[in-house]
Amino acid sequence: MAHAQTPPPAGKPTATFEPYVPAGQSMAEFTPRAILLGALFGLIFGASTVYLGLRAGLTVSASIPIAVLAISVLKRLGGSTILENNIVQTIGSAGESVAAGVVFTVPALIFLLPHGPAYFNYMQITLLAFAGGILGVLLMVPLRRALIVKEHGVLPYPEGTACANVLVAGERGGALASTVFAGLGIGLLWKALSWIVQIFRTAVGYSMPRGSFFPNATLNVDISPEYMGVGYVIGPRIAGVMFAGGVLSWLVLVPLLSILGQYIPEPFPPIPASGLKLSEMTAGQIWSAYIRYIGAGAVLASGIITLARTLPTIVSSFRDSVKNFSAAGGAATLRTERDLPVLVVVGGTLLLAVFLVLMPGLPTAGNPLAAVLTVTFGFFFVTVASRITGLIGSSSNPVSGMTIATLILTCTIFVSLGWTGDLYAPVALCVGAVVCIAAANAGATSQDLKTGYLVGATPLYQQIGLVIGVIASALIIGYTTLYLHDVMTIGSAALPAPQATLMSTIIKGLLSQNLPWGLVLCGVFISVVLELCGIHSLSFAVGSYLPIATTAPIFAGGVVRWWVERKTGAADESDVSSGTLFSSGLIAGGSLAGILYAVLFGNRLIHEADGATVGLIPFLHEGTVGQLAGCLLFLALAVVLARAARTKLA
């Protein structure tokens, strides 16, 4: 029998550790049904993450809800072991992490004219997802001993520890799963009523007229359940800082430029494509022409600062991983110490590099330097991602900052070699995309391996399962991305793809050497000011780049969590609280309904949900009444979330 104790919380070094399932005990683990169910969850959460990433520019970890659902589903199939449940969540979580890396980068190919769109097809997206995902898994193998085992009491890996607690409390699976399903049902119903049936508005807000005393000041709220769920999961602190960035962009900088524009008779450089003067531009046009460069500079600086802050731990982790590399594939006598053989790790990594060079159609084809940069930066940032997520969780993994750093270094090398202009933009993007996907997957892989370490899983089976999860999810991610682009258009208001747009802006500006550095440097020093004030600037910078319609509902979700914690007296909620599980359901339900909307809209079965002029009940869409109705309905959703969050898990 397994030792009936909950895994001890990480936080201080421990001399010895006994997992929940002892190393000498064998039980069903890597079974066909666990593999199939994990792959199914990988497809579902991978597809929903594509939609959420293109809409909001951020994602959250799917490990906890998948762990809960695994327990529930396998119980209905005749019962399961804790190690089977762990394999399901391990395989399923790969879909979410790979999808996040893909949507943050690969859609940038659309904007890299004239050569980029030629590479934006199913085969290229799938191959990049496959390469980045597998690279992230392989490079995490030698890091497992250094970071998961040796620093067990130092690095908490919050989602991994939470998943272990969920799995150990498997007898509570029904109550846990019902909470997730309730959130999923409400999120699905809400999104269906607003987007598909179109009973009420999808957004509320107001922008001051251009000739007013506060011109173009804008406050919009996208009343989507997935945004509120994201805000609850990340908490009031991060949500508030993100919203503050949006306030600076849309309620300070946009009206400030509008006021100054009244005294500038000519278009202000960089001249926007419309050729309009500042005084003639809407808030959205000002953001597109000017503010997004300031936001890009802020994200750039905050990403570099985040990496610099963790440099000592990065160096030590890198040194330890190299030192332990040969031991990673050694013949282990204990089941819980078996990893993929070192020859598989080294050989697989080299094969991926060769694949990037020889695969026809890929931007990196015929470019050995790009492959070398991909593997080099990949190993470095996989180490960074694992270390950072060990401290703050994979939902807060700053993959955009790592990707930006990769793109800057890559583009700098290209420029020094004379590789400038649009021709090399897809090559640089390909390097950044594979590194981004690898770093995102490494963060999730680290959490999974931590869960396995606590419950007594076999690392070898987990690592094989992660490869299976990457392959399965890669098959659906490309299709989902292309379908959403075909019917909703990536780069439009419905799918702004903020992270990918940012990547394309940086690449084009660096390679063409015409980036508006004045605006970029303004953003850089905004992040510097925040750091000098003692505030970590990454969340603020991301918020300054996102539309305020996205950060406002995320902030609302954070406020709900603040209120719940205040009422319950909790300093901070557990990662397996009812509120977090319900919010995870909201995110999944809202995202899946968004994909359903895309299917119906693409087949011309419904009209576009613009939130203003269409709908079955006109007065819920139009004028002040429609705005008020939208606000009240969004408040009602917040109340439902708060009530669910205050319900104790049985």
What's the pLDDT tens digit per position in 348-381?
A: 999 999 999 998 878 888 899 999 999 998 887 8
Angle at 331 between CA 329 and CA 335, to 5 degrees: 95
Average pLDDT over residues 456-466: 94
The model's pTM is 0.74
Nearest CA-CA partner of 579 in 551, 556, 557, 553: 557
Q: Is the pLDDT at 13 greater than 50, yes or no?
A: no
pLDDT, greater one: 263 or 546: 263
Query: For 490, phi and psi rounded to 5 degrees?
Result: -65, 130
Q: Which domain holds residue 365?
A: 32-172+302-507
Nearest CA-CA partner of 589 in 136, 296, 184: 184
The Cα 387–Cα 446 span in angstroms is 9
528 domain-assigned: no
603 domain-assigned: no
Instruction: Give the pLDDT confidence of 144-178 residue by residue, as tens digits.
Output: 887 788 777 767 786 787 778 778 766 455 566 77
183 domain-assigned: no
The Cα 566–Cα 586 span in angstroms is 22
**Per-residue buried b or exposed e for 76-115, using 16+ beta carbons within 10 Å of the residue's own CB:** eeeebbbbbbbbbbbbbbbbbbbbbbbbbbbbbbbbbeeb
* Torsion angle of C-alpha atoms 56, 57, 63, 64, degrees rounded to 10: -40
* pLDDT for res 323: 61
User: Which of 66-80, 197-211, 465-479 is modeled with the greatest confidence?
Assistant: 465-479
Residue position matching structure tokens 């809960």: 68
Average pLDDT over residues 399-409: 78
The Cα 207–Cα 329 span in angstroms is 60
430 domain-assigned: yes
425 domain-assigned: yes
DSSP structure class, residue 490: B
Domain count, the chain: 1
The Cα 493–Cα 488 span in angstroms is 9
* pLDDT for res 273: 57
85 domain-assigned: yes
User: How confident is residue 330, by pLDDT bands cut at 50, 70 and 90?
Assistant: very low
The Cα 402–Cα 384 span in angstroms is 9
User: How confident is residue 335, by pLDDT bands cut at 50, 70 and 90?
Assistant: confident
Question: In the numeric block, which tokens belong to residue 290?
Answer: 């000017």
The Cα 390–Cα 161 span in angstroms is 10
The type of residue at 371 is A
Question: In the numeric block, which tokens belong to residue 343?
Answer: 């020859």
Question: In the numeric block, which tokens belong to residue 146?
Answer: 């250094």
474 domain-assigned: yes
CA-atom Rg of the chain in angstroms: 24
CB 584 within 8 A of CB 65: yes
How far CA 499 is from CA of 139, 220, 374, 505, 542, in Å, comes to 25, 20, 20, 10, 9
User: How confident is residue 560, by pLDDT bands cut at 50, 70 and 90?
Assistant: very high
Query: For 221, phi and psi rounded to 5 degrees?
Result: -135, 120
CB 297 within 8 A of CB 510: no
Average pLDDT over residues 425-450: 91
H helix or E strand, kind and range, residue 446: helix 425-455
**Per-residue buried b or exposed e for 616-639, using 16+ beta carbons within 10 Å of the residue's own CB:** eeeebbeeeebbebbeebbeebbe
How far CA 169 is from CA of 32, 129, 423, in Å, comes to 23, 34, 54
The Cα 43–Cα 88 span in angstroms is 12
44 domain-assigned: yes
The Cα 52–Cα 588 span in angstroms is 9
User: How confident is residue 1, by pLDDT bands cut at 50, 70 and 90?
Assistant: very low
Query: For 50, phi and psi rounded to 5 degrees?
Result: -55, -50
Residues 6 or more apart whose Cβ sits within 8 Å of residue 23: 334, 335, 336, 337, 456
Average pLDDT over residues 222-243: 86
CB 9 within 8 A of CB 161: yes
